[in-house]
A and B are shown apart, each in its own frame.
Chain A
Amino acid sequence: MFWIQAFVKIALIVGVLVNMAAILLWVERKQSAMMQDRIGPNRAAIEVGGVRIRAAGLVHSIADGIKMIWKEDWEPVGGDRLLYRLAPIIALVPPLCLFAVIPFAPTLHVDHLRDLYDPAWAADPNDHSIPMRITTLDVGLLYIFAVAGAGVIGAALAGWSSNNKFSLLGGLRAASQMVSYEVAMGLSLVGSFMIYQSVQPADMITWQMQHCWGIFVQPLAFVLFATAAIAETKRVPFDVPEGESEVVAGYFTEYAGLKFGMFASGELVEVCTSSALLTVVFLGGWQFPFVQNSGFEFHYLGLDISWHWAHFIVVLVGLLSFVLKVAGLIFLQLQIRWTLPRFRYDQIMMLGWRILLPAALLNVLLTGMGILFYNGLSTTGGGTP
């Protein structure tokens, strides 16, 4: 039963993510078109019985997929064949794997779909429940840093195995940029770990449900993490690994067809993953404002509203809320990608090492001081956190 569940969830998530790449391709094109006073893609069509279905340009993603499949699968002469073929896989798989530990809805208790939530369910050994995440690891979010680090290898290998100077330069740029920002990214979350007292995503969400969203207690960390996450995706404004006038297309200069498609969709999956991470750590995960396990609860400003929902509705609202938050963050990321001009390479390095890293350390320091101060308050009889 456990394995079946796991497989179903893996298939579901990987399926959604891979399709999200195609959809995001359309979103990106359409969104950038709207921002730039254009129409965007709208010509590709599927003809069914004389009716041309254009689906507002969505068909272009299908056309792209077909094109990539049928393109000549050219390989550079003199490159390292094995590594050359391995690189796109290494670039695509880690972003997909990241989702393994991310909870996207509250745990579903199958036996109590229509009941009001009771904390005793979780303690009941005979209870049938489906945790809405692929797996729970003891290392929690540390797993994400470990796996995300593997993505560097894909870019570096691609640059190395293409037997092309531009590819090599692009690969080096990508590798150094990703490594640099991984440091700042990791450190920026330390403050959150300190506050949540856990590295488990589920615990983080619980803390945020009980107190407030992470963004309010860790605003600096949110900005730092978001910046570093965008840099990790290697998209504008941090897209120095590719540059027509300097290094052509960077480490995927020599890639064509589906191999190139894997790099491109890897980027878009990374956008999804980083948005999901931001949601979990800073935006309360699947928690909808004022919705607790039992339903809608509003006990502020002198009001005292309780609106209890059946358990499955709460889970559904949680799922929807998670999807909405991720979608919003993706929108924001795309908006940033089409708004900001790109950095120079030295500026990226400076931003990573001389601004983000000290700021992350400062954030740790401030958080620690804050916690000490707050704990001091609470031991002397202060309010609630």
Chain B
Amino acid sequence: MQHFPILSIVTLFLGAFLTVIFGSKNETVRKFIALVASSISLILVLMLIKPVMIKNNVIQYWLGNWRPIHDWAIGIGLEVDALGLFFGIIAVLTIFLSIIFSFKYTKKDSETDKYYVLFLMLSGAVLGLVFTGDLFNMFVMIEIMTFAAVGLTAFRNYQEGALEAAFKYLVLGSIGSSMVLAGTITIYSQVHTLNMAQISALLFNNLTPSALFAFALLLAGFSLKAFVVPFHPAAPDAYMSAPSSVSMAFSGMVNKAGVYAIIRLVYVLFHAMDFKSVQILLIIIGTITMFIGVTMALAQNDFKRLLAFHSISQIGYVITAVGVSTALGLTAGLYHALNHTLFKGLLFLTAGAIFYATGTTDLNKLGGLARKMPQTAAIFLIGAFSISGLPPFNGFVSKWLVYQATFQANLAPVTIIALLVSVMTLASFIKVAQSIFFGQMPKEFENVKEVPLSMRIPMWIMAILCVITGVLPNIVTKYLVSPAVTAALNIGKYIDLMMGNGYSEKILGKPIEIPAVDFTLAGYWDPIAWLVLFALLLIAVTIVAVAGGFNAVSLPTEVDDPKYDVFFSGEASEHSHVKGNDLFWGLKHDLRHYFGFMHDAHSGIINDYALWAIFTTTIFIVYIFLLVP
């Protein structure tokens, strides 16, 4: 049982190496190896739910059997507690569904063995990041993740802009990793150990200036991996150019690895959530991320670029909820992270299905595909309603918790901005649905068919999971989210289990008291009642439609009568599709100065993007030196 975490990481790496030897000529062999490796990993991680989450054990595992000597840690340790396992479950689910989707999706590409090798290494690195208990091991896993991600972004190098997106991602990712390394080294020179539990014990009440400098550098480095706002410009380019099954992995796994690292840093390593200034910093960054993400998304012309900006905006929700450091805030943040993987993965897979069927993702060229691809349209609508926060889907539950948490902490402006962002999200998804699925179809898409079955199965699985986590929030909270919140706030137990019992008492002098983790979901939210109401309305509409209440009388316009010619300038109009871009022209015209400024600021030049990153790091360093005592 204790070998399961390391085995689930090693299986993925072994699968990658075996694909190089055996899979370079034969296509069936490489698909078989990828499927077997990801299934074994999924089963091993799911079998860890019962001991870790339900019985509250923590698995600690010293590599090479180097146990601590004289209370000093000398080896690399893995520590799997409920917080790490929560993110691990999200990661393996994404890997498994993405590999099933990519069997048919990469049919037209050449050299797909390199695709599977890079993808398996990316997944092994993410699992290694969330299960480890050592700070330098985290840095190495971040580097492997960045390399695999850059390789996968440039995979389709005949596509417009894929190579420059990969180059920008590499430069910005390298700056972030260098800052993480500099922070690690500064911490090492202070405490002479690299184990996270021991660092947390030794830094308890003595935050010297070099520890504060390291905190600022580590926070900036991990924020760059999670793509929070001033560090974000490489993200839309990279999500747009990668193949869709890989974009789903980026927004589902790689972002969450950055969020996990921020939570581990701020809550466990530095105990920094007791300072009011750190809470305010996280809340300000989260709010700016939410707002800028969604306003940039309203003006986009490409489907996947729009989805990437929405992904940035939802991560802003998570960071804001984590910054409000009550138990309710942390529950809201973690629940929204789980929901975001599910509905954002669903939307990216829909984009992939449309690209497979029609060959383009430009919103100005598509239209009216709901008649030819009905299942894809239904799945897209489930995803769009989830992300906007409509009941009975899962977005409503987590956004309701975010509103409640920020309101109870006396932060009413943040609640108002969060509500506004929800409304604008719904607006931009109505624009996308009108552009792609409804309306009139251009002539060149006459032969479009529905996508094959092996691409539809992952989409249906994710849609069903969206509905389940929305309708049964009590079960999800009790079994998955609450153990993770308790593990994040209960630092004394983390230190004791890693270094032997009684260590935290010796160093810290007194046991750390555990804050009371109980909360009540206010309001009269009963999801079963909303589902019954929805079903009743659907039955009513169907009865009326069948009985003939919606038959509109339509006048033919191609009648050859010269008295109609004055309305059509002599010709009958053929194509009168209202494009999605025309739906909000009033809003875009009123705010044209803001939209023009933002369009010019995202200029595409790599020196500008590096300038934003370095400037924000400087502000972090100055803020933390001035305000944290």
Task: Say whether A and B bind each other.
Answer: no
Which A residues fall within an 8 A CB radius of B?
none
Mark B residues whose CB is within 8 Å of A. Answer: none
